[in-house]
Structure 1
Amino acid sequence: MITKLTITPCDLDAQGNVTGPRTSEAFTVRLNPSNYTRNFEITYNTTKAMGAAVMQPRFNGAGEKKMEFDILMDGTGVVPPTSPNSTAIDVDTQLGDLRKVVYTLDGEEHEPNTVMLVWGSFSFVGKLSTMSVEYTLFKPTGDPLRAKVKLSFIQYIGPTEAANAANLRSPDLTHSVDVQAGDSLPLLCFRIYKNSAYYLEVAKFNGITNFRNIKPGTRLNFPPLR
């Protein structure tokens, strides 16, 4: 049996974390995509350090950001149904079913659904970014018989998952430093991050209001870069 790509709306808790898919509302394609594109992105902090002659990009994070693919919708009856009890469905109805899942505003969230795309072992959670429809075959009456739908989804990560991934809940204990005489916060930031521009963030993280007057012996924690 051929496994079909499914697009399923997800429930979110009050904080925006995904709690599970609403499988009864899933949209199943009749024809799987012939290909799909996964876009991965590496981001860098490009803040130029004060007094630096050149800007040196510092690694900030990496991850999958976008997924794109096309699906073909057919209303001629040539394409096999998704289940033995299904019948031929016209293109406009198929498009309406898809829009309900990915495009129509959710009644409670007042924004498009967060959806889970699953095809075999591959899964992706995101929100619709763009959707375009190209009609390619028509009845003599002008009603569409076939359409190609281009879909692009941007990755969705809930706040709990994002915090865990970035390890923002605690400082990196390997970057705890006891201030020595002659040390300055910009200098320490350069030693840790190779970029002195983070001194204000580190001062805020440690509750320091006067970063120019840090007493020797003070222990500072340097959190992971965001």
Structure 2
Amino acid sequence: MSITPVSFAGLGARARLEIIRPVITDERQRRIPLRFSPTDYKLSKSNTFAEITIPGLETPPLQYVRGGSETLTVQALVDTSDTLDNVRTSYVDAIRNLLRPDSREHAPPVVQFVWDEAVFTGVVEKLDVNYVLFGSDGVPLRAQLDLMLKEFRPAAQQVADNPRSSPTVEKSYVVRAGDTLTSISAAVYRRPDEWRALARANGITDPRDLRPGRVLTVPRLM
């Protein structure tokens, strides 16, 4: 038995986009199905580092600045060649609407890409639609969707899930121009009042004497 795009729609778990913010109780409005599950998807994430300029060094030390947002890219196919309905109104418009600001949130909805399980949570950053099949009257019947989602994680959740620093683990810190012991303490401990622990661990008697490029020991907090 040959498998056509339409018959394939009934095989296996179907991928979908699901609106999680704002809260929508009507499941038919909250869930946006994809006619066919994709063959693959791609997750990408990057970090930003700053180069610390120290005269005489061939390779400057790197200082972690921040993490970048993770992105998901997926290519999907939607098709109405069996019913001859307009694929734009049946599938594409609902996905395009995810790019529009919601009146309650004043921002586009937060969605999950679900394929048997929740794979990714984010906002739709980009959507390319390529119509590839038409009826005799010019009605589009099939479209290829190139969809990009950007990760959405509230700041409070990130602090709770993955704190960037821990007061119980000894680390090191490369001083940058404009740094003070107070600002460094706020960055590594989230407590600016712990600057004295940094001063003691590094033998600093004058808190104003911080040269860019100096490597400080960040001690554990007792």
Query: What TM-score comes out, normalization by structure 2 length?
Result: 0.67
Q: Is 1:192 equivalent to 2:166 in the alignment?
A: no
Question: Out of 103, 109, 115, which is 1:119 matched to?
Answer: 115
Matched AA of 1:97: A
CA deviation after TM superposition for structure 1 residue 161, in Å = 1.6
Supply the AA of the counterpart residue of 2:132: T
Instruction: Please name the residue that 1:97 is paired with.
Output: 94
Alpha-carbon distance between aligned partners in 2 of 1:223 and 1:62, rounded to the nearest angstrom: 24
When residues 52 and 26 of structure 1 are mapped into structure 2, their CA distance, relative to the original with a 3 A threshold, is farther
Cα distance per residue 1:106-132 (max 9 Å; x no partner): 111222111011112452101111101
Partner of 2:15: 5
2:13 match: secondary structure: coil
TM-score (norm 1): 0.66
Render the CA deviation track for 1:152-188: whole Å, top value 9, x for unaligned.
11111111221124426x851344xxxxxxxxxxxxx
Distance 1:201 1:10, change over 3 A: farther
1:146 counterpart = 2:129:
no
Count of matched residue pairs: 183
Give the superposition deviation at 1:23. Answer: 6.6
Q: Which runs of 5+ in 2 are unaligned?
A: 1-10, 187-191, 196-205, 211-215
Q: Give, in angstroms, the shift of residue 68 of structure 1.
A: 0.6
**What percentage of aligned pairs have identical amino acids?**
18
Residues 50, 64 of structure 2: 8 Å contact kept? no
Supply the RMSD in Å over aligned alpha carbons: 3.4
* CA displacement 1:15-51 (0-9 Å, x = unmatched): xxxxx7767111011110122111132x243141565
Asked if the contact 1:68/1:151 (under 8 Å) is kept, the reply is yes
Tell me which stretches of 4 or more aligned residues in structure 1 moved more than 4 Å.
20-23, 49-52, 59-64, 220-224
Q: Do the aligned partners of 1:7 and 1:26 also contact (CA within 8 Å) in 2?
A: yes
DSSP 3-state at the match of 2:149:
strand
What residue identity is the alignment partner of 1:192? S
1:33 to 2:38 alignment: yes
Gaps of 5+ in 1: 13-19, 79-87, 176-190, 215-219
- 10 and 121 in structure 1: CA distance in 2 versus 1, 3 angstrom threshold: closer
Over 3 Å counting, the alpha-carbon distance change for 1:223 and 1:171 in structure 2 is farther
Q: Which amino acid aligns with 1:65?
A: E
